[in-house]
Amino acid sequence: MEQSVYNPQNVFEQVNSRVGEVLNKNHFERQGEITTEDDGYSTVYIKDDLAYQIYMNNEKHQFLLRYCGVENDEVDGKWRTRSLLLFEPEDESQIKREVESVVNDFTEEIAGPSKAAIVLNQVQKRHRGTEENTTDPIFFFNRLVPLCKDLRDDLLKERVTYGEVRGATFAKEKVLPKVQLLLESGSQSSIERLANIFSDLYEVGDLDVRSIITLVLINGLTEQEYQKLEPLFSDNLKKGAKAGLRMKGKTVKPEKKKKATRYVADNLSETR
């Protein structure tokens, strides 16, 4: 097994301490001490009918911010993923930067009462059986942040400027150039991670995510760039990419405008 360059428990304690402070300021109360899971660590914070969980999956090298409902002062255990970030620093110099990335992302997702109201609404919709079980472009872009270190700033600027993230447009203008740069000068392990993210999100993403991956990003690559990725794709994505290439150069209907509040990333069944 490959030796980790960081101490998982120490890293989790750093993230939990800082994100926990933000949750406490928003009147969420921690439930007990850090729990040691079979594959990592977790802590739970509760406020009224909503619970947040900070969860680190050591096996998959992931940090997750999850949420669920609370009934009779007990979490209902139906965890949904609001944010998921890979945590794979290649050396000690990257550990602090990746910790900052996780803390900033989770803090952004939970800060302020309006964020809690949005998430609580998702919990209530789930209880009513009306919640969509899909993964949207915001979730996809967040998965790419560890590979494209300045992508988080681009996402923040996009939201400030337009009040929302314009999925296909943002992918073409901001994500595609970073993907091309990674394919040109990135390590083989980074390219493999990129292909895995594309494959994973093609499987579980909504129609917008699948279209962004095939019609915007893959179709925006040169033949040389595409050949670096294609052998690493899942079988389903290989088929989707092949079909998408037939659309290259053709006019596609513009994307529909979405409400600015639709930032919640839903659960991935394989995250645990």
**DSSP symbols for 232-259:** GS-HHHHHHHHHHHTTTTS--PPPPP--
> What pLDDT is attached to residue 175?
96
pTM score over 0.85:
no
> What pLDDT is attached to residue 268?
42
Q: Is 35 helix (H, G, I), strand (E, B) or coil?
A: strand
* CA atoms of 18 and 219, how far apart (whole Å): 40
In the structure encoding, which two tokens stand for residue 66, read together?
């999850």
> What is the mean pLDDT for each group of 10 consecutive residues in the chain (272 residues)?
75 96 92 88 92 92 89 85 83 87 86 58 54 70 85 87 88 95 89 90 87 94 94 92 80 48 42 42
> What pLDDT is attached to residue 229?
93
> What pLDDT is attached to residue 11?
95
> What pLDDT is attached to residue 264?
42
* CA atoms of 1 and 15, how far apart (whole Å): 25
> What pLDDT is attached to residue 272?
42
> What pLDDT is attached to residue 173?
95
> What pLDDT is attached to residue 117?
58
